[in-house]
A = this chain, B = another copy of it.
């Protein structure tokens, strides 16, 4: 998917919502526990209820790997289901991978060829080798961790470089922006760091940003839009638990749909 395709969907749906499919066996409604594929059944219902309000889905690999080989299969079925029923929705494998070149090449094949997602999140720690193999796929994206939303993000991401005064996350952005373009590279910037978005937009005015941390992690949608939006919107704002676990009864999907719609309407006003 190109940046233009993504922007078209954002305009069409008046939404820049990404729904995080952090689907955890233990948190599923009781009636799904009997299912042979509870993660997939839950996801399917969530997708059907939220697809009108979302432009992206982001399954986090940790939740599927926790269910072993069956979890992996259910993830692949989830991706295939989105592809089949909602082919214009952007799919992000939240995997935060990063390994040496030949190994990264294999991860890229897994996610882009075998699973056919649009994007994979990557950790930049080991540098360019770990990202390059993902940038060789036309129409696919690498999403690099820059400034994350977790409490210990400051441990290393805010390290100030000697001579340049750059923070590590700024160095990650200024260095890696030369490896690809705004058409195949995005960055993760936590919503809890909205004040720094203004600064980030000076460095990369055109790139899309994937913004986690809205909702349970405390970030504000208005702040994110104020400092982060660009002429193509340039934002994918993720919400996971606040949507998918909005309700724990047999009506979980309706509740998720209502939550997604509420966020979509806020987003519509901000666009």
> Which A residues have a C-beta under 8 Å from some C-beta of B?
22, 24, 60, 62-63, 65-66, 68-70, 72-73, 76, 96-101, 103-104, 106-107, 109-110, 114, 123-130, 145, 148-157, 159-163, 165, 168, 171-172, 175
Contact = CB atoms under 8 A, between A and B. Distances in A.
A124 B107 CA distance: 19
A159 B161 CA distance: 6
Given A123-B123, A161-B162, 19 more contacts: A62-B99, A65-B72, A66-B109, A68-B72, A69-B69, A69-B70, A100-B149, A123-B125, A124-B125, A126-B150, A126-B157, A127-B152, A128-B152, A129-B152, A155-B175, A159-B168, A160-B162, A162-B162, A168-B168
Give the interface centre of A69, A97, A129, A154 by most chain B CB atoms within 10 Å. A69
A148 B97 CA distance: 15
Given A66-B114, A97-B96, A125 B162 contact: no
A107 B65 contact: yes
Contact of A130 (B130, B152, B172): B152
9 closest A-B pairs (Cβ-Cβ)?
A127-B155, A127-B152, A69-B73, A128-B152, A100-B150, A69-B72, A129-B152, A69-B69, A160-B162
23 contacts: A62-B103, A62-B106, A63-B106, A65-B106, A66-B106, A66-B107, A96-B99, A101-B151, A123-B125, A124-B155, A125-B125, A125-B148, A125-B156, A125-B157, A126-B157, A127-B155, A127-B157, A128-B152, A129-B152, A156-B171, A156-B172, A156-B175, A161-B161
